[in-house]
Amino acid sequence: MSELSELYQEVILEHNKNPRNFREIESPDRTADGNNPLCGDALRVYVKLDGDTVTDVAFKGSGCAISKASASMMTQFVKGKSREEAEVIFDEFHRMVTGELNAEAEENHLGRLKIFAGVLEFPARVKCASLSWHTLHAALQGEGEVTTE
């Protein structure tokens, strides 16, 4: 179960059970819906902005442990960051889970989010980890809706 324990680490299981910022934001500045039609994962990301700073970010929806934990940790991670910083992390995260960025060897800002590198061994689950990030990205771009397949 070595690979498996790499995917379902304590941290991920814990965030799945007690997702952070799992709520709506009243009168958000940005929202977007993310859907993964293959899995039926569906979530909505809410963003509150003060100028260029993400002052609050939250999510609601249903999904697997990987998608929920990823969304939960994402909200913790980007809160207080600038839009630009959030976009940089989105890009790094995306490259990490698709194997383009070796988060252990190359410089990056992913910090705790590095545990999601484990999904690389589970091609069917990459979309689960990245759905919330694509949704946040869409919200920040003012796009409103994303689908990953």
Interface characters, 47-86, with another protein (x: CB under 8 A): ---------------xxxxx--------------------
Nearest-angstrom CA–CA distance, 36 and 34: 7
Contact at 8 Å (CB) between 145 and 138? yes
Q: Using the rule CB under 8 A, is 41 a contact of another protein? A: yes
Q: Using the rule CB under 8 A, is 1 a contact of another protein? A: yes
Q: Supply the minimum distance, in Å, between the C-beta of residue 48 and another protein.
A: 28
Nearest-angstrom CA–CA distance, 42 and 62: 6
Query: Considering beta carbons, is residue 10 or 26 the nearer one to another protein?
Result: 10
Q: Supply the minimum distance, in Å, between the C-beta of residue 19 and another protein.
A: 13
Q: Supply the minimum distance, in Å, between the C-beta of residue 18 and another protein.
A: 12
Query: Considering beta carbons, is residue 21 or 35 the nearer one to another protein?
Result: 35
Q: Using the rule CB under 8 A, is 122 a contact of another protein? A: yes
Which span (20-28, 38-46, 72-80, 134-142) binds another protein, by CB under 8 A? Answer: 38-46
Nearest-angstrom CA–CA distance, 94 and 63: 19
For residue 140, give the nearest of 31, 59, 23 by alpha carbon: 31
Question: Which residues, 6+ apart, have CB-to-CB distance to 32 below 8 Å?
Answer: 44, 45, 135, 136, 138, 139, 143, 144, 145, 146
Nearest-angstrom CA–CA distance, 63 and 2: 24
Which stretches of the chain bind another protein, using CB under 8 A? Answer: 1, 3-4, 7-8, 13, 16-17, 38-42, 62-66, 122, 124-125, 128
